[in-house]
Amino acid sequence: MASIKMIEHDGTEHEVAIEDGKSLMELATDNAVPGIDADCGGDCACGTCHVIVGDKWFPNTGVANNDEQQMLDMTPERASTSRLACQIKITEAMDGMVVRLPEFQM
Amino acid sequence: MSIEATVVNTATKFVPMHLQIKAIHRALKVKNKLLKNTPFKPRKVPEFAELPIPDVNTLALDEIDVSNPFLFRQQQWQPYFKRLRDECPVHYQKSSPFGPFWSVTRYDDIQYVDKHHELFSSEPIIFLGDRPEGLPLETFIAMDPPRHDVHRKSVQSVVAPQNLKEMEGLIRERAQEVLDSLPTDKPFDWVQAVSIELTARMLATLLDYPYENRAELVYISDVVGGNAESTGGTYADMDETFKAAADMVKKFTALWHDKKRREAAGEAPGFDLISLMQNNEHTKDIVNRPLEFMGNLALLVVGGNDTTRNSMTGGVLALNEFPNEFQKLKQNPSLIPNMVSEIIRWQTPLAYMRRVAKQDVELGGKTIKKGDKVLMWYVSGNRDERKIDNPDEFIIDRKGARNHLSFGFGIHRCMGNRLAEMQLRILWEELLVRFDKIEVIGEPDYVQSNFVKGYSKMMVKLTRKT
Ligand code: HEM
Ligand code: FES
Pick out chain B residues at pLDDT < 70: 1-17, 19-46, 132-136
A106 lies in some domain? no
The domain that holds B118 is classified in CATH as 1.10.630.10
Q: How far is the CA of B149 from the centre of ligand 1 (A)?
A: 15
Which pLDDT value is given to residue B241? 76
A40 lies in some domain? yes
Q: Can you say whether residue B400 is alpha, beta or left, with left for phi > 0 and alpha for psi between -120 and 50 degrees?
A: left
Report the distance separating Cα B190 and Cα B461, nearest Å. Answer: 9
- Residues whose beta carbon lies within 6 Å of some atom of ligand 1: B 114, 140-141, 152, 159, 206, 299-300, 303-304, 307-308, 311, 344, 349-350, 353, 406-410, 412-416, 419-420
Give me the mean pLDDT over the A34-59 stretch.
Answer: 96
Q: How far is the CA of B223 from the centre of ligand 2 (A)?
A: 35
Which pLDDT value is given to residue B137? 75
Which pLDDT value is given to residue B155? 85
Out of B414, B417, B422, B452, give the residue to mutate to test ligand 1, the one with the largest number of ligand atoms within 8 Å of its CB.
B414
A54 lies in some domain? yes
A15 lies in some domain? yes
Cβ of B32: how many Cβ atoms within 10 Å? 16
The domain that holds A48 is classified in CATH as 3.10.20.30
B162/A46 CB distance under 8 A: no
Domain residue limits at A43: 3-100
Contact criterion met (CB below 8 Å) for B123 and B146: no
Which pLDDT value is given to residue B9? 57
A17 lies in some domain? yes
* pTM of the predicted model as reported, rounded to 2 decimal places: 0.92
Domain residue limits at B389: 3-464
A105 lies in some domain? no
All residues of chain A having their beta carbon less than 8 Å from the beta carbon of residue B149 are: 70, 73-74
Indicate which of B107, B110, B114, B115 best probes the interface with A, i.e. most A CBs within 10 Å of its own CB. B115
Count of the separate structural domains present in chain B? 1
Out of A24, A26, A30, A49, give the residue to mutate to test ligand 2, the one with the largest number of ligand atoms within 8 Å of its CB.
A49
Count of the separate structural domains present in chain A? 1
A89 lies in some domain? yes
Indicate which of A9, A40, A75 best probes the interface with B, i.e. most B CBs within 10 Å of its own CB. A40
**Is the predicted ipTM greater than 0.90, yes or no?**
yes
Report the distance separating Cα B442 and Cα B186, nearest Å. Answer: 14
Report the distance separating Cα A63 and Cα A84, nearest Å. Answer: 11
